[in-house]
Amino acid sequence: MRRLVNDGYEAVEEMLAGYVAAQGKYVDFAENDKRVIVSKQMSEEPRVRIIVGGGSGHEPLFLGYVGKDFADAAVVGNVNTSPSPEPCYNAVKAVDSGKGCLYMYGNYAGDVMNFDMGAEMAADDGIRVETVLVTDDIYSAEKVEDRRGVAGDLIVFKAAASAAAKGLDLDAVKQAAEKANANTYSMGVALSSSTLPVTGKAIFEMNEGEMEVGMGIHGEPGIKRSSIEPADKVVDQIMGYLIEEMKLKSGEEVHVLINGLGGLPVMDQYICYRRVDEILKEKGVHIHHPLVGNYATSMDMIGMSITLVRLDDELKELLDAPCDTPYFKLD
């Protein structure tokens, strides 16, 4: 295993301890739960609180987006594993200011079950908690409501957080998140597996020189496995699926996110962005704001995903609003 860990069973706790120590300007542990990261820069005025979360191994997702005018708390599970219900509930107790909370996370069965239980526990205390599931991975299911959440998490979280920062009520904040989710489309490619720190072994088998278009961030099956192809050819395939799914037309405006999965050099990511830029310009689609980097990873997996977000004035305002977190800042 080409990783720098101590005991694999302690990797999450040690990572969280290091993160809180390094990012003490922004975050701390919840008072009673070291699987809940809370913002030290929450607004003093009561507002809807944004709570995100899921399994570890996707850093900087989720904890990296806790800070000022973004997420108020992140609930952290084991590697590729949902957090248990108690920390989901404890996050609500740690940040609620009387306006209710919005849970947001990728659409995975374990997360849905445990966050729902956390919301039920909060309801017993008289705290209203609503949920928006992110479903941006277009290849993961035919029905949108059954799709997985991947790098589009960042977009949906940001839209909701900006709505909350404007002082909107819980219903309006949830509506903003749902609108962002409905207009966010992602698809990725993997060139390797990630490595589990507990076992020191790959999650799945992939031969040297292979790639799989459409694979999920936990190794969920994609469209096909083949020999690695040049960057432009890979981007052309992914963009073909995205444009068809979106029914993207000339004159429209999009947000673009090239997301590294942890092991792909930034050089390669910009090579991929270059081709995305060419394709969209040829189609007459305007790029409002490009993002390139590691925003939602799968530990050391070599690969990347492309996310396109169809924009209107409302979504542009929400996605451009200022925020300050360790891994995402806008002035």
- Domain boundary assignment for the chain: 11-183+320-330, 184-317
Q: What percent of the chain has pLDDT over 90?
A: 95
Query: How many angstroms separate the CA atoms of 131 and 23, rounded?
Result: 27
Locate the DSSP E strands across 170-300.
184-190, 210-213, 224-227, 253-260, 286-293
**Regarding predicted confidence, which is higher, 222 or 155?**
155
**Regarding predicted confidence, which is higher, 270 or 223?**
270
Q: Please count the other Cβ atoms lying within 10 Å of the Cβ belonging to residue 143.
A: 7
Q: What confidence score (pLDDT) does residue 98 get?
A: 98
- Flag whether pLDDT at 209 surpasses 90: yes
Query: How many angstroms separate the CA atoms of 83 and 256, rounded?
Result: 30
Residue 229 φ then ψ, to 5°: -110, 165
Query: How many angstroms separate the CA atoms of 331 and 323, rounded?
Result: 7
Q: What confidence score (pLDDT) does residue 147 get?
A: 96
Q: What confidence score (pLDDT) does residue 216 get?
A: 87
Cis (ω within 30 of 0) for the bond into 60?
A: yes
Helix/strand/coil (H/E/C) assignment for every residue in 53-94: EEEECCCCCCHHHECECCECEEEEEEECCCCCHHHHHHHHHH
- Flag whether pLDDT at 1 surpasses 90: no
Q: Could you tell me the pLDDT band of residue 224, with boundaries at 50, 70 and 90?
A: confident
Q: Could you tell me the pLDDT band of residue 110, with boundaries at 50, 70 and 90?
A: very high
Cβ neighbours of residue 203 closer than 8 Å, sequence gap 6 or more:
80, 193, 194, 195, 196, 218, 219
Please, are residues 218 and 80 in contact by the beta-carbon 8 Å criterion? Answer: yes
User: Which residues on adjacent β-strands are paired with residue 174?
Assistant: none
Q: Could you tell me the pLDDT band of residue 218, with boundaries at 50, 70 and 90?
A: confident
Q: What confidence score (pLDDT) does residue 311 get?
A: 98
For the chain, the helix, strand and coil percentages under 3-state DSSP, each to the nearest 5? 35, 25, 35
Locate the DSSP E strands across 205-266.
210-213, 224-227, 253-260
Closest to 54 in 3D by CA, of 3, 108, 1: 108
DSSP state of 44: S
- Token pair of 309, please? 């977000």
The active-site residue out of 218, 255, 286, 289 is: 218
What b/e sequence results for 235-247 when a residue is b if at least 16 CB atoms lie within 10 Å of its CB, and e otherwise?
bebbbebbbeebe
The domain over range 11-183+320-330 is classified in CATH as 3.40.50.10440 = yes
pTM equals 0.97
Name the fold adopted by 184-317.
Hypothetical Protein Tm841; Chain: A;domain 3 (3.30.1180)
Please, are residues 184 and 152 in contact by the beta-carbon 8 Å criterion? Answer: yes
Q: Could you tell me the pLDDT band of residue 79, with boundaries at 50, 70 and 90?
A: very high
**Over the chain, what is the mean pLDDT?**
97
- Flag whether pLDDT at 143 surpasses 90: yes
Tell me the average pLDDT across 203-228: 91
Tell me the average pLDDT across 156-179: 98
Known catalytic residue at 289: no
Query: How many angstroms separate the CA atoms of 56 and 264, rounded?
Result: 19
Q: Which helix (H) or strand (E) holds 165?
A: helix 153-165
Tell me the average pLDDT across 294-318: 98
Known catalytic residue at 218: yes
Q: What confidence score (pLDDT) does residue 219 get?
A: 84
- Flag whether pLDDT at 82 surpasses 90: yes
